[in-house]
Amino acid sequence: MKIATWNVNSLKVRLPQVLDWLAAHRPDAICLQELKLEDRAFPESEIRAAGYHAVFAGQKTYNGVAILATTPPDDVAHGIPGFADEQKRLIAATVGGLRLVCGYFPNGQEPGSDKFAYKLAWLDALTHWLAAEALPKHPRLVLAGDFNIAPTPADAHPGWQEGILVSPPERAAFQTLLDLGLVDAFRLSGHSEPVYSWWDYRMGAFRRNFGLRIDHILVSRPLQSTCRACAVDKTPRKLERPSDHAPVVLELDV
DNA sequence: ATGGCGCATGGAATGCGA
C-alpha cells in the first residue's frame, strides 16, 4: 500500500498538479491539507474521474483537509472529539484496513502568541484523543499531514534553529506523540543528506534548500515492521505555481 | 533570512502562512 500526504496550499489552484501527481504515482490514499475552499467548491467530480473517492472538511479561505483513496473511505470522522474548533484541521477514515488520520496542525505564528497557545492546545487535544480513543480502537493507525513542527535539528536548515516550528514546546509535543507508540516513518531509514518538505516562496528558499521537514507520516507500532520506504518527492515543488510543500510518500507492505 | 512570495478576499489593500 502506498500512502501520501501533501499540503497543496489551495486545491483550486493546485488541482491540475494534484491530478497529474496522482496519475503518475497512484497512491492508494493521499491526505491533503490547506484546501482553502468550501465543501460545495470541492472538485469531487474531477477527483472521481481520476479514480479516487474523496472525503473532506473544508471552509472558506483557510485550512481544510481531505482524504482521497482508490477505495471508498469508511467510518469518516471530522475534528478532534471534545475539542471545540471552527477550523477544519482534522479528518479521519478507514482505508484498506488502516485508520488514516489527516491533520493540518496549527502554524502557531510565534512562540508566546495566542496562536501558539492554540497550537499547543490543539496538539494536547490530539494527543489525548489518540491515546484514549483512536489508538485503542484502531491499532493500525497512520497519522499524516502538515505537522508544522520540524522534530529535530536535522529537520531544519542550519539557519532556522530557533523560533516557530522548531521551538522546544513544539518539539516536546511531537515527542509526546511518539511516546504514544507512533513512529516517524521517515526516520526508519537512514538519510545522509538533509531532507525537507517545505520551502518558503520568498528569497529563493527552494533553490538554496532553505527548508524544513514539517510534513510527516507517523505509523502505530503494529505497522512499523511493514514500512518499506518513506520519501519526500521534491518534483512538484519545481513546477510553475507550486505549493510551498512537497508530497511525502510512504510504502507499506500491507 | 521575514523585507522580498503566493493565496484568498474582493475588486485595493490586507491577513495569513511557515
- Length reported for chain A: 254
Q: What is the pLDDT of residue A245?
A: 98
Q: What is the pLDDT of residue A221?
A: 98
The answer to whether A59 CB sits below 7 Å from nucleic acid chain B is: no
Query: What percent of chain A has pLDDT above 70?
Result: 100
pLDDT band at A223 (very low <50, low <70, confident <90, very high): very high
Whole-model pTM? 0.98
pLDDT band at A97 (very low <50, low <70, confident <90, very high): very high
The answer to whether A40 CB sits below 7 Å from nucleic acid chain B is: no
The answer to whether A36 CB sits below 7 Å from nucleic acid chain B is: yes
Amino acid A142 CA to nucleotide B11 C1' distance, rounded Å: 43
- Mean pLDDT, chain A, whole residue set: 97
- Classify strands A141-146 and A98-104 as parallel, antiparallel or unpaired: parallel
**What average pLDDT does this structure show over A185-197?**
94
Q: What is the pLDDT of residue A121?
A: 97
Residue-wise pLDDT tens digits, A48-63: 999 999 999 999 999 9
Residue A148 cell numbers, joined: 508544522
pLDDT band at A231 (very low <50, low <70, confident <90, very high): very high
In angstroms, the CA A213 to CA A209 distance is: 11
The answer to whether A146 CB sits below 7 Å from nucleic acid chain B is: yes
Query: What percent of chain A has pLDDT above 90?
Result: 98
Amino acid A36 CA to nucleotide B8 C1' distance, rounded Å: 8
Residue-wise pLDDT tens digits, A30-47: 999 999 999 999 999 999
For B9, nearest residue by CA–C1' is A61
Q: What is the pLDDT of residue A104?
A: 98
